[in-house]
Amino acid sequence: NAGVTQTPKFQVLKTGQSMTLQCAQDMNHNSMYWYRQDPGMGLRLIYYSASEGTTDKGEVPNGYNVSRLNKREFSLRLESAAPSQTSVYFCASSEARGTDTQYFGPGTRLTVL
Amino acid sequence: GENVEQHPSTLSVQEGDSAVIKCTYSDSASNYFPWYKQELGKRPQLIIDIRSNVGEKKDQRIAVTLNKTAKHFSLHITETQPEDSAVYFCAAKNYGGSQGNLIFGKGTKLSVKP
């Protein structure tokens, strides 16, 4: 099992460009999450999907959109990137939203110039 | 909503010493408290967790204690080793609440000097 995978590992964008971060899990988990990690700020939830077909906003959703493509895949889209979106993005999954352990992907380091 | 404060932000100990990291939470309905370890350049990984019906939990050299009255919980690492050097995050969740999402502290960078 690969667990949670993310692509790309690194990305540099110019202000105003768009891109989609991809996430997939092979653990048959129902719930998936997108976090951003900034120095000194911990992990902050952007969006989550409690189950296939549903998505909801987290703590910092502005400037992002998500798609739960199927049970395995959950993508994060930046429509018009801004320097404030420079961060490390982690995808995570758990068996269900009400269960405990979240398994994280390796992260995507995004720089917006 | 829930707010989690974590202290200290950095901690340096000598190999073999103990390390303690403390977190406080604001929502008295929170009932699940995990700790994640993140090595440099790696993903966060769960190392131990505790639920609100338990006061203490141990796993080899690490332990977590919970004081529901005071709304704080702590991570204790004994006999620290250089491989314990990492950033540690606490988190809190209202397991059965309408939110049900993890709220993380800002992290503690632990350095263990050989």
Chain A contact for B90, CB < 8 A?
no
pLDDT digits (tens, 9 = 90+) for B29-46: 888 899 999 999 999 999
Q: Which residues of A touch B (CB under 8 A)?
A: 33, 40-45, 48, 58-59, 90, 97-98, 100-102, 104-107
CA angle A91, A50, B94 (to 5 degrees): 95
CB contact under 8 A, A48 and B105: no
Question: What is the distance, to the nearest Å, from the Cα of residue B61 to the centroid of all Cα atoms in its chain?
Answer: 14
Q: Count of CB atoms within 10 A of residue A81's CB?
A: 21
Question: What is the distance, to the nearest Å, from the Cα of residue B82 to the centroid of all Cα atoms in its chain?
Answer: 18
How far apart are the C-alpha atoms of A41 and A99, rounded to whole Å? 25
pLDDT digits (tens, 9 = 90+) for A66-98: 999 899 999 999 999 999 999 999 999 998 766
Q: Assess contact for A49 and A55: CB atoms under 8 A.
A: yes
The pLDDT score that the predictor gives to residue A51 is 87
Q: Assess contact for A76 and A105: CB atoms under 8 A.
A: no
